[in-house]
Amino acid sequence: MNRDSTELHQVQEVWYYVMDKKVLVLFLSGLYTLSSCLAHEYHFVNMNKTWTEAQRYCREKYTDLATIDNMEDMNRLINTVDSGYNGSAWIGLQKGEWQWSLADRDYSQGYANWEETEPNNAGGKEDCVFMRRSGQWNDAPCNVQHFFICNGMKNSKESFHFINVAKTWHEAQSYCRKYYTDLASVRNQTQNHEVVTVAAANEGWIGLFRDSWKWSGGSNSSFTYWIKEKPNNSKGNQDCASTRLNNLGRWDDMQCYINSPFICYGAPVKTQQVVRVKLTPKDQDMDLTDPDIQEAILRQIRKELREKGISDDVKLRWKEQTVGKIFHEEEKKN
């Protein structure tokens, strides 16, 4: 039986019911350290480019800027870098884009009314937006409490509703979605003025927010390996991530326009490993050469792996030992 993995340690004995008959499966190489069969293949590019230029290069020559899903990926990436290089290298992690909570309203390069020097993402965690009394916008941590403005429907025309209850941005979003439509989307100067009027000299959350860190390919960053107290956006606009080779490869937030070497990844590479199993049917009349029985055993093993949290990316199949034969009888010893 072939199985994709990294290391194997334990011997594991498992009983399965196959075709209503009991079968002992003895895993001679273990079962508990299975991992995904897909591993990123990394490529270090020793050329100085901005993050966006590096992304474009990686997409043209490989797949994308490096995505890192776990510590195994991180170690493999570090080993890819030239031994003589000890600085920073771009990876594919970037702060998410600004967007409206109302999903069908794209912010992109549309109307904006930012306060001077904003958004500045001070402290690296200012991912939500509130409106000042002046009507100008300011980014702030999403867990700060403010009054807020909802989008609503009134006489078949869009209107705004000021809520004078202090809530975090996400609490305000939930409230607006429950009782109105969503947190306010402000698409032009006229609507901005309407919100100022409704708020009556109060500050309040609007529906503009920014996603957390995401990989260039679009996936969320579940695994992290930041330098201590990073990301902190200490210089402002540090919305792209690099790996610091002089700091065990830990990640740093940097300004995206800085020129730096970078790391791409190519198509996933499949790894493969053989695990020997010993099958002992309780019913000696069971025919282990029957393809239906063989497939039924594999289904039971897949179920066992899934229950242990192993990814469905792991593929199992029987390996023929001799021509047309998967199993052979164990020789009896005197």
pLDDT in tens, 305-319: 766 655 555 677 777
The amino acid present at 318, given as its one-letter code, is W
* 85-94, 193-202, 215-224, 304-313, range with the lowest pLDDT: 304-313
Find the mean pLDDT for residues 245-268: 91
What is the band of 299 on the pLDDT scale with cuts at 50, 70, 90?
confident
Find the mean pLDDT for residues 262-283: 71
What is the band of 163 on the pLDDT scale with cuts at 50, 70, 90?
very high
What is the band of 31 on the pLDDT scale with cuts at 50, 70, 90?
very low
Comparing 83 with 165, the larger pLDDT belongs to: 165
Cα 5 to Cα 99: distance, rounded to the nearest angstrom: 40
Given a contact cutoff of 8 angstroms between Cβ atoms, the answer to whether 238 and 231 are in contact is yes
Mean pLDDT estimate for the chain: 80
| Per-residue model confidence (pLDDT) at position 33 | 39
Given a contact cutoff of 8 angstroms between Cβ atoms, the answer to whether 322 and 289 are in contact is no
| Per-residue model confidence (pLDDT) at position 98 | 85
Tokens coding 168: 């975090």
- The residue count of the chain comes to 334
* Strand ranges across the sheet with 21-27: 12-18, 21-27, 277-281
Neighbours of 147 (CB within 10 A): 18
Find the mean pLDDT for residues 267-291: 68
Question: Residue with structure tokens 């996603």?
Answer: 211
Note if the pTM is more than 0.75. Answer: no
* 29-38, 97-106, 150-159, 210-219, range with the lowest pLDDT: 29-38
* 39-53, 143-157, 191-205, range with the lowest pLDDT: 143-157
Cα 240 to Cα 255: distance, rounded to the nearest angstrom: 6
Does the pLDDT at position 46 exceed 80?
Answer: yes
Find the mean pLDDT for residues 266-288: 67
Given a contact cutoff of 8 angstroms between Cβ atoms, the answer to whether 238 and 254 are in contact is yes
Among residues of the chain, what percentage have pLDDT more than 70? 74
Which of 237, 240, 211 lies closest to 90, judged by CA?
A: 240
The amino acid present at 177, given as its one-letter code, is R
Q: How far is CA 113 from CA 41, 110, 228, in A?
A: 43, 10, 34
What is the band of 8 on the pLDDT scale with cuts at 50, 70, 90?
very low
Comparing 291 with 330, the larger pLDDT belongs to: 291
